[in-house]
Structure 1
Amino acid sequence: MERELKQRPPYAIASVDHALRIATMLQLEGELTVAEVAERLGVARSTAHRLLAMLVYRDFAVQDASRTYRAGPVLELAAHSRSETSRLRTLALPHLEELVEVVGESANLMIRTGDTARFIASVECQQALRVGNREGMVFPAHRVTGGLVTLAELSKEQVEAVYAPERYVERPDERPDLARLHRDLEKIRTNGFALNEGRSERGVVAVGKAVRGAEGQALAGLSISMPSVRYDPHQLRSHVAALGFATRAIENGLR
């Protein structure tokens, strides 16, 4: 029997449809201006601008110095190992939920591609004041715990290649201080975990460890995050122990 053609939903939401079409165009066709997007969709330039602004906010698009838009980190990461990422998320999610029950704080799983890290799974705790769900969002790798623990697996030369100056010609302010970064990564290697106090967001503290594959390579970073007003340094050891138990459980599942 022939496959049925896809049917347009009876209650299609125009703004969602437009945003998805823009994301597809950026991924498949490359750079676009606001005027080009407006013409392709048949909408006003102001509407096209608002849609693009939301895609930029969610990291599906980025705007360069010439005010054109191109595919953002989420779309770039989507081209890499979809099946492995999906499998990792599926295996890890129950252990994130258990980790949240144990520590009473939110938990996240991240993967790194180059100098960016993407949240592929996120479980919120039940406390009124908590760190919210970041699933699907992309941050600079050196600013989030999962990115830091995977960067710590690289040699000094590999880290410097990731943050080579020529990659930041159009965004020099986004390049981290490498001397400080090397010191931070060395501390993570020594301790076996990362402590992140306000790097990605003021008022948030996170603790993380690497999730390793069968060959010992860091596949992802697992972290717990909490409001800084609730962080107690005396609980750091128990947080690290809980993370260690969760990462080993995920690793066993992967094997």
Structure 2
Amino acid sequence: MKNKPVYAIDSVDHALHLAQILQQEGTLRVTDAAERLGVSVSTAHRLLAMLVYRDFAAQRPDRTYTAGPVLRPAQRSEAPVALLRRVSAPHLHTLVDGVQESANLMILAGTEVRFIATVECARILRVGERAGRVLPAHLASGGKAILAGLPATDVGTLYEDVDGIDVPKLRRELALVRKRGFAINDQLTEAGLTALGVAVRGSSGAPEAAVSLAIPSARFDRNQLPTWVAAMTAAATRIENDLAARR
């Protein structure tokens, strides 16, 4: 039997309870959430909004809420997450200082990428925290950068049972990513956001992670691509070198 902590934080308890309900029972209206928790509708709305922000919930077109990506069974990644996060931190900060755009580190988990670190830039209009979020790998810039470094047979195996994926088309896009040395996501996963991604490779040459720059689309300028890609590639190389030195 579990006892409630003496110094329980009600807002945290409510948010976790809502996440549990969404995972176990499915869709939920704001009024249902308020009734289940015994709180006002406005409080329930704020709690659900925070769960959506952290990907524990998703809002449907009919304004009901359902479990988000974080509450789905997560596919395991072989990447050394703790080491990657620790090694990448100073290099992400250096990258952000140089280009004044937010930077992320992500890993591949099945057909998705999981963001494991974010450094935000200081500009008023900026892309915010992404750590913990999950996106389809074939759409995310970092996901495409990682996929492009995998053998074509591995990509085919990964997506052979995934509905709605044109594998030959994906392979052609990944070939272009390999040729360019970077991937781009122009508002494929979020309106108003354009991202660039480059792979971070392990000692074997296989991609272990990806560095991405997340740029408000209103500020995206293709003339800046050489500068951005060069800065990202340098950051990825420094991360690779530090990874090799610590193994």
Q: Is contact 2:200-2:240 (8 Å) kept?
A: yes
CA–CA separation in structure 1 for the residues paired with 2:71 and 2:77: 10
| Pair 1:100-2:96 in alignment | yes
Encode CA deviations 1:30-64: one digit per residue, 9 max, x unaligned.
854579xx9xxx757x99x977896566444689x
Deviation at residue 192 of structure 1 after TM alignment: 1.4
In the aligned structure 2, how far is the partner of 1:19 from the partner of 1:81?
30
Q: Verify the 8 A CA contact 2:76 2:110 in the aligned structure 1.
A: no
* Distance (whole Å) between structure 1 residues aligned to residue 57 and residue 219 of structure 2: 35
Q: What is the TM-score of this pair, normalised by structure 1?
A: 0.74
> What is the CA–CA distance in structure 1 between the aligned matches of 2:101 and 2:145, rounded to whole Å?
19
Q: Separation in 1 of the partners of 2:102 and 2:118?
A: 7
Q: Write out aligned runs for 1:161-176 (5 A).
A: 161-165=157-161, 167-168=162-163, 175-176=164-165
What RMSD in Å do the two structures reach over aligned CA positions?
3.7
- Give the letter for the 1:104 counterpart: Q
Give the total of aligned pairs. Answer: 233
Judged with a 3 Å threshold, the aligned counterparts in structure 2 of structure 1 residues 105 and 9 are, in CA distance, closer, same or farther, namely farther
Question: Residue 66 of structure 1 aligns with which residue?
Answer: none
Work out which of the residue numbers 211, 233, 237 in structure 1 matches 2:222.
233
What is residue 151 of structure 1 aligned with on the other side?
Answer: 147
Query: Deviations along 1:54-108, whole A, 9 cap, x unmatched?
Result: 6566444689xxxxx77845664486569x2122111111111110000111101
Write the distance in 2 (CA, Å) between the matches of 1:226 and 1:212.
Answer: 23
Q: How do 1:92-241 and structure 2 match up within 5 A?
A: 92-165=88-161, 167-168=162-163, 175-241=164-230
Cα distance between partner residues in 1 of 2:236 and 2:171:
24
Superposed counterparts of 1:6-25, under 5 Å: 8=5, 10-14=7-11, 16-20=12-16
SS in 1 for 2:138: helix
Q: 1:250 Cα deviation (Å)?
A: 0.7
Contact in 1 for aligned 2:57/2:67 (Cα 8 Å): yes
Following the alignment from structure 1 to structure 2, what is the Cα–Cα distance between the partners of residues 73 and 85?
17
SS of 1:216's equivalent? coil
Unaligned runs of 5+ in 2: 60-65
2:202 maps to amino acid: G
Aligned-pair CA distance for 1:144? 0.9
Letter matched to residue 10 of structure 1: Y
8 Å contact from structure 2 (residues 148, 178) kept in 1: yes
Cα distance in structure 2, aligned partners of 1:227 and 1:72: 23
5+ residue gaps, structure 1? 64-68, 169-174
Query: What CA distance in whole angstroms lies between the structure 1 residues aligned with 2:57 and 2:104?
Result: 23
Aligned equivalents of 1:148 and 1:8: distance in 2?
44
Q: Distance in 2 between matches of 1:79 and 1:25?
A: 24
